[in-house]
A = this chain, B = another copy of it.
Amino acid sequence: MDLTSVRGAATIEEVAARAGVSRSTVSRVVNGSTAVSPSALEAVRRAIDELQYVPNRAARSLASRQTRAIALVIPEQTDRFFGDPFFASIVAGIGEVIGESDYIMNMLIASDDASAKALGYLRGGSVDGAIVASHHTSDTFLDRVADVVPVVYGGRPARVRADDYYVDVDNVEGGRVATAYLLARGHRRVATVSGPSDMPAGIDRLHGFRNAMAEAGLEPAAVENGDFTEMGGALAMNRILSSGVTPEAVFVASDLMARGVYTVLRDKGLEPGRDVAVMGFDDSAVSTALTPSLTTVRQPSLTQGRHMASVLLDILAGRPAAHATILPIEVVERDSA
């Protein structure tokens, strides 16, 4: 490309001149105002077309104090983000809704080392609002984003502030029903591979597990953290088995971790679903890809994504929006438990 062409990009002024009207009229046409005569409208449209005019976003947002852009902030390492199909669903849901709006969505991978830059970007007025997918206790920079633009969280934030918005499922309940399901099948030696302890989703599902066990008057056979990754799940299951206990059933706090659990189980000569019942969480793509297919707790990730986006759109449009949206979960029975 030719760098001069950047400078040469048509301005509203040129369009106006060509169409024989004022800047204001062009602006009205571009912004869809009705108060324009048919002839002017036609002239402007043609000029825009001929000049390939695209309004300069910076100028526009400087004048209007709006960017018509929202950020999808991913406070994760790249590999974890791409490794878990859960994020794919969330993003797809968000993208779907934002796609129908006139906002543009840009994804920002804000892993630890990139968070300072991301913060500057977000606070520098580059977007009108932000959606935060996945949230860790340590992500304190997010608070400073929320000071400046509306933020919608995917999952309840670690510290909920009065005017936070979030879309979530009841993870405590999810952990509970998952465990209760296992218990109802007659299992007594039940272990769990939990999610990270710096994420509400991880903490809550573990709570649910403990609650269900306590209600049944049982002690957990084992509790190991798997960090929501396949490898972490494998490692956790390995620790459980190495410690000498072979559970009858294990509640794994994410489908992806369950994949790791399967691998380790088989490594030790244990067949998932037959020798050890396995219950997942998410109902993501991996649950059906696994053999035997994974019995799991379904959380509607796509819907969750859609909700997050519409809540943000509502806020941006000045419409009332619910601060907390809790979506329903359900056990999906398959072959592993």
**Interface residue ranges, A against B (CB under 8 Å):** 1-3, 5-7, 9, 54-62, 65, 67, 69, 71, 78-79, 81-83, 85, 87-88, 91-92, 95, 99, 102, 104-109, 113-114, 117-118, 120-121, 123-126, 146-151, 163, 285
Contacts and interface: CB of A to CB of B under 8 A. Distances in A.
Pick from A69, A81, A106, A118 the residue with the most CB of B within 10 Å: A106
A56 B91 contact: no
13 contacts: A9-B123, A56-B124, A58-B67, A62-B62, A78-B95, A82-B85, A82-B88, A82-B91, A83-B85, A95-B114, A99-B114, A104-B118, A104-B120
A109 B121 contact: no
B163 A56 contact: no
A22 B108 CA distance: 34
Contacts of A69: 121, 126
Contact of A59 (B62, B88, B113, B123): B62
Contacts of A79: 88, 92
- Number of copies of this protein chain within its complex: 2
Given A82-B85, A107-B107, A6 B58 contact: no
A124 B105 CA distance: 15
Contacts of A118: 104
A57 B121 contact: yes
A301 B131 CA distance: 29
A99 B77 CA distance: 13
Nearest to A63: B58
Contacts of A107: 106-109
A121 B103 CA distance: 10
A318 to B, nearest CB: 9
A59 B60 CA distance: 10
A106 B67 CA distance: 15
A87 B107 CA distance: 15
